[in-house]
């Protein structure tokens, strides 16, 4: 088996998905969309989402949904689509999120040519200033036009928060979704099936506050890492440490901790490095680099190991105070955050694996 590896623990992940699904159900939330982009939609991992009871499989990228086309759940496209990918949206997504009429008009036309209908969710911007209709007038004017597009079903509204503007979802902020929903009913006599109340930053409210008409959440981080993203806290009912990275030692030698030449230039990325003189240290190089992961996003499981730095393909560790005696060929495990998972799973040089227990 080749290294480096990104490893998912099935038992913990399954616990997280089933626990969250139950918690949402108990709180009156009807559906959970499991977001697969954090692990680049590896099918083996996405299957755990299905086994755990997610209602939809959601991803930002159409290519990721394509990888999962055989999973027996509806596919939901999270990133508002590019005009240039609409054929694929119809092919690989059952539902997609939108905020541009020009795109919807084209999608409707293509759906007509293909002889299919497609479900859409309109995004409203409640202040985070990423995607969505910001002004109510603009939103309702578009709803009126969208309802006339005969090949598209307007099934829901959604919001995304704490992504760009770091807006915290509070019951007050989210309450505007109720207003939107009610006004759509009043003005157009149109019922919505999905009121999607956000991502892992909304999780802290589930079971704690009345979420009004919200009946769906789209969750990645909370399921994958057991954390919520409004305040960055661990969710005590979920498992953390669901994922780890493993890399292999390719060189192990004692060396000084400060470069020995008189004249120092720039490192491989044009930066002037700074060194702390800790004397002669035992150092290990592992076979992974900046192309695969940022060292700020990984943490050795053995707290005695220090990450000194990395270049494209090498990462240098100080293992002088490591708990175990290490040698070339040994495997070093690391804890990872969301950013690390995202990059590691994207790198074709990293093997993604599922361990049962
Ligand atoms: C990524 C994404 C999510 C999931 O976010 P998490 O914080 O990982 O739960 C939900 N909705 C949209 C629109 C996204 O882009």
Could you read off the pLDDT tens digit of each residue along the chain, which spans 357 residues? 699 999 999 999 999 999 999 999 999 999 999 999 999 999 999 999 999 999 999 999 999 999 999 999 999 999 999 999 999 999 999 999 999 999 999 999 999 999 999 999 999 999 999 999 999 999 999 999 999 999 999 999 999 999 888 999 999 999 999 999 999 999 999 999 999 999 999 999 999 999 999 999 999 999 999 999 999 999 999 999 999 999 999 999 999 988 888 888 888 888 888 888 899 999 999 999 999 999 999 999 999 999 999 999 999 999 999 999 999 999 999 999 999 999 999 999 999 999 998
**Nearest Cα residue to atom 7 of ligand 1:** 200
| Nearest one of 155, 121, 122, 119 to 141, comparing CA atoms | 122
Distance of CA 98 to the CA centre of its chain: 19
Q: Is the CB of 200 under 6 A from ligand 1?
A: yes
- Exposure pattern of 272-296 as b/e (b: 16+ CB <10 Å)? eeeeeeeeebebbbbbbbbebbebe
Residue 200 alpha carbon, nearest atom of ligand 1? 9
Residue pair 223/20 in contact by the 8 Å Cβ criterion: yes
Q: How far apart are CA 109 and CA 101, in angstroms?
A: 12
Residue 153 sits at φ, ψ, to 5 deg, of -100, 120
Q: How far apart are CA 287 and CA 296, in angstroms?
A: 17
Residue pair 329/249 in contact by the 8 Å Cβ criterion: yes
Angle between the N-to-C axes of helices 43-52 and 10-26, in degrees from 0 to 180, rounded to the nearest 10: 40
Q: Residue 76, SS3?
A: strand
Distance of CA 154 to the CA centre of its chain: 25
**Nearest Cα residue to atom 13 of ligand 1:** 78
The confidence score (pLDDT) of residue 42 equals: 98
Q: Is the CB of 143 under 6 A from ligand 1?
A: no
Q: Is the CB of 159 under 6 A from ligand 1?
A: no
Distance 77 CA to ligand 1 centre (A): 11
Q: Is the CB of 162 under 6 A from ligand 1?
A: no
Tokens of 267: 């490192």
**Nearest Cα residue to atom 14 of ligand 1:** 78
Distance 96 CA to ligand 1 centre (A): 14
The confidence score (pLDDT) of residue 268 equals: 84
pLDDT digits 0-9 by tens, 252-284: 999 998 888 888 888 888 888 888 889 999 999
Residues identified as active-site:
37
Tokens of 244: 């780890």
Q: How far apart are CA 176 and CA 5, in angstroms?
A: 44
The confidence score (pLDDT) of residue 1 equals: 66
Distance 31 CA to ligand 1 centre (A): 15
Tokens of 191: 């019922």
Q: DSSP for 183-227?
A: HHHHHH----SEEE--STTSGGGTTTS--TT--EEEESHHHHHSB
The confidence score (pLDDT) of residue 164 equals: 86
Distance 219 CA to ligand 1 centre (A): 6
Beta strands 331-336 and 243-256, pairing class? antiparallel
Q: How far apart are CA 150 and CA 108, in angstroms?
A: 7
Question: Count of residues for the chain?
Answer: 357
Residue with tokens 């009156």: 28
């Amino acid at each position: 088996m080749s290294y480096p590896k990104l490893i998912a623990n099935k038992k913990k992940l399954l616990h997280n998905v089933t626990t969250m699904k139950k918690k949402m159900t108990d709180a009156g939330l009807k559906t959970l969309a499991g977001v697969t982009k954090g692990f680049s939609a590896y099918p083996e991992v996405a299957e755990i989402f299905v086994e755990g009871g997610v209602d939809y499989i959601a991803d930002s990228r159409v290519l990721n949904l394509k990888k999962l086309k055989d999973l027996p759940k509806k596919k939901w496209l999270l990133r508002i689509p590019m005009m240039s990918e609409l054929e694929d949206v119809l092919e690989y997504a059952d539902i997609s999120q939108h905020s541009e009429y020009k795109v919807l008009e084209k999608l409707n036309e293509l759906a007509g040519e293909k002889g299919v209908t497609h479900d859409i969710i309109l995004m409203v911007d409640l202040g985070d200033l990423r995607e969505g209709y910001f002004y109510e007038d603009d939103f309702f004017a578009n709803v009126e036009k969208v309802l006339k597009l005969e090949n598209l079903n307007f099934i829901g509204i959604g919001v995304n928060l704490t992504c760009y503007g770091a807006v915290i979802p509070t019951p007050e902020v989210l309450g505007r979704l109720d207003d939107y929903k009610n006004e759509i009913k009043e003005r157009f006599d149109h019922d919505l099936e999905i009121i999607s109340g956000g991502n892992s930053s909304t999780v802290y409210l589930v079971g704690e506050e009345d979420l009004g008409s919200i009946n769906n959440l789209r969750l990645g981080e909370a399921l994958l890492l057991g954390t919520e993203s409004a305040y960055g806290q661990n969710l005590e009912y979920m498992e953390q440490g669901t994922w780890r990275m493993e890399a292999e030692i390719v060189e192990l030698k004692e060396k000084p901790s400060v470069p020995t030449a008189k004249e120092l230039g720039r490192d491989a990325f044009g930066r002037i490095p700074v060194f702390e003189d800790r004397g002669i240290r035992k150092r290990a190089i592992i076979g992974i680099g900046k192309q695969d992961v940022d060292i700020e996003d990984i943490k050795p499981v053995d707290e005695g190991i220090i990450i000194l730095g990395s270049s494209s393909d090498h990462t240098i560790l100080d293992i002088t105070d490591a708990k175990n005696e290490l040698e070339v060929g040994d495997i070093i495990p690391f804890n990872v955050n969301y950013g690390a998972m995202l990059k590691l799973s994207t790198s074709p040089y990293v093997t993604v694996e599922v361990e049962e227990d």
